Amino acid sequence: MSARTISLNSLFASAAGAAPATVLLAMVLGIGVFQPSFLSPYSLSVLMRESSPILLLALAQTGVIMLGGIDLSVAAIASLCTILLALLLPPLGVWGLIAVLFVGTAAGMAQGYIHVAAQIPSFVVTLAGMGLWSGIALSIAHTTIPVDQGYAVVGWMEASLLGVPVSFIFGAGVALLLWLAMRETPFGRYVQAIGLGERAALLSGVSVGTVKVATFAVAGLLAGITGVALVARTYSGNPSAGSSLLLPSIAAVVIGGTAITGGVGGYGRTVIGVLIITVLRVGIAIVGIDPGYEPLCYGLVLVCAVALTMDRTRLAVVK
Amino acid sequence: MVLAQVERLRSRASIVFVSHRLDEVLQVCDRIYVMTNGRCVAERNGREASRDELHALMFGQQLAEEYRRDRAARHPGAVRLSVRNLCCGASCQGVSFDVLGGQIVGLAGVEGSGRESVCRTIFGAEEPSAGEILIAGHKVRLGSPADAVALGIGYVPAERRVEGIVSGMSVKENMTLTHLHVVQRGVVLDRSRERRLVGHWINQLRIKAPSSGALAGQLSGGNQQKVALAKWLIAEQPRVLILDHPLRGLDVGAKAEIFRRILELAEKGIGVILIADALEELIALSDTILVMRDGCITDCFNESDPPPQPSMILKHMI
Residue A314 has a pLDDT of 61
Residue A127 has a pLDDT of 96
Percent of chain A, pLDDT > 90? 53
Number of CB atoms found within 10 A of residue A10's CB: 12
Q: Is the pLDDT of residue A1 over 60?
A: no
Residue A110 banded pLDDT, cuts 50, 70, 90: very high
Angle between helices B252-267 and B221-230 (to 10 degrees): 20
User: Residue A165 is part of which domain span?
Assistant: 54-243+258-266
- Which among A197, A205, A207 is the nearest to B168, CB-wise? A197
- Say if A177 falls within a structural domain: yes
Query: Phi, psi (5° rounding) for residue A178?
Result: -65, -40
Sign, CA torsion A301/A233/A123/A66: positive
Q: How far apart are the C-alpha atoms of B290 and B300, rounded to whole Å?
A: 5
**Residues in CB range of A14: below 8 A, 6 or more apart:** none
H/E stretch holding B82: strand B79-88
- Chain A residue with CA closest to B143: the answer is A207
- Chain B residue with CA closest to A13: the answer is B168
Residues of A in contact with B231 (CB under 8 A): 204
The domains located in chain B, with CATH, are 2-59 (no CATH), 65-317 (3.40.50.300)
Residues of chain A contacting B, Cβ within 8 Å: 6, 184-186, 189-190, 192-193, 196-197, 199-209, 263-264, 311, 314
Provide mean pLDDT across the span A256-274: 89
Q: Encode pLDDT of A130-159 as tens digits.
A: 999 999 999 998 889 988 888 888 888 888
Residues of B in contact with A202 (CB under 8 A): 125, 144-145
Q: How far apart are the C-alpha atoms of A41 and B86, rounded to whole Å?
A: 71
H/E stretch holding B96: strand B92-100
Q: Which long-range contacts (CB under 8 A, 24 or more apart) does A208-211 make?
A: A208/A116, A208/B144, A209/A116, A209/A117, A209/B144, A211/A67, A211/A187
Provide mean pLDDT across the span A300-319: 71
- Say if A106 falls within a structural domain: yes
ipTM of the assembly? Answer: 0.82
- Tally A–B CB contacts below 8 A: 75
CB contact under 8 A, B144 and A263: no
Length of chain A: 319
- Say if A288 falls within a structural domain: no
Q: How far apart are the C-alpha atoms of A195 and B87, rounded to whole Å?
A: 33
Number of CB atoms found within 10 A of residue A253's CB: 33
Task: Find out whether B179 and B235 touch, Cβ atoms under 8 Å.
Answer: yes
Q: How far apart are the C-alpha atoms of A220 and A213, rounded to whole Å?
A: 10
- Which among A197, A206, A263 is the nearest to B162, CB-wise? A197
Interface of B with A in 146-165 (CB under 8 A): 146, 148-150, 155, 157, 159, 162-165
- Which among A186, A190, A203 is the nearest to B145, CB-wise? A203
Q: Is the pLDDT of residue A180 over 60?
A: yes
Q: Encode pLDDT of B52-92 as tens digits.
A: 777 667 655 443 444 444 554 566 788 889 999 888 887 88
Residue B64 has a pLDDT of 42
Residue B145 in contact with partner chain A when CB distance is under 8 A: yes
- Say if A29 falls within a structural domain: no
- Say if A250 falls within a structural domain: no
- Say if A305 falls within a structural domain: no
- Say if A187 falls within a structural domain: yes
For an interface test with B, the pick among A116, A203, A207 (most B C-beta atoms closer than 10 Å) comes out as: A203
Beta strands B130-135; B138-140: pairing state: antiparallel
Provide mean pLDDT across the span A251-258: 90
Residues of A in contact with B184 (CB under 8 A): 186
Residues of B in contact with A316 (CB under 8 A): none
Provide mean pLDDT across the span A249-266: 89
- How far are the Cα atoms of A201, B118, B183, B185, B202 from residue B179, in angstroms, in the given order? 12, 24, 8, 13, 16
Task: Find out whether B108 and B289 touch, Cβ atoms under 8 Å.
Answer: yes
CB contact under 8 A, A205 and B146: yes
B106, β-bridge pairs: B274, B289
Q: Encode pLDDT of A17-70 as tens digits.
A: 678 888 888 888 888 888 888 888 888 888 888 899 999 999 999 999 999 999
- Number of separate domains in chain A: 1
**List of chain B residues with pLDDT < 70:** 36-37, 55-56, 58-75, 252
CB contact under 8 A, A197 and B165: yes
CA dihedral B69, B70, B74, B78 (to 10 degrees): 40
Task: Find out whether A271 and A21 touch, Cβ atoms under 8 Å.
Answer: no
- Say if A103 falls within a structural domain: yes
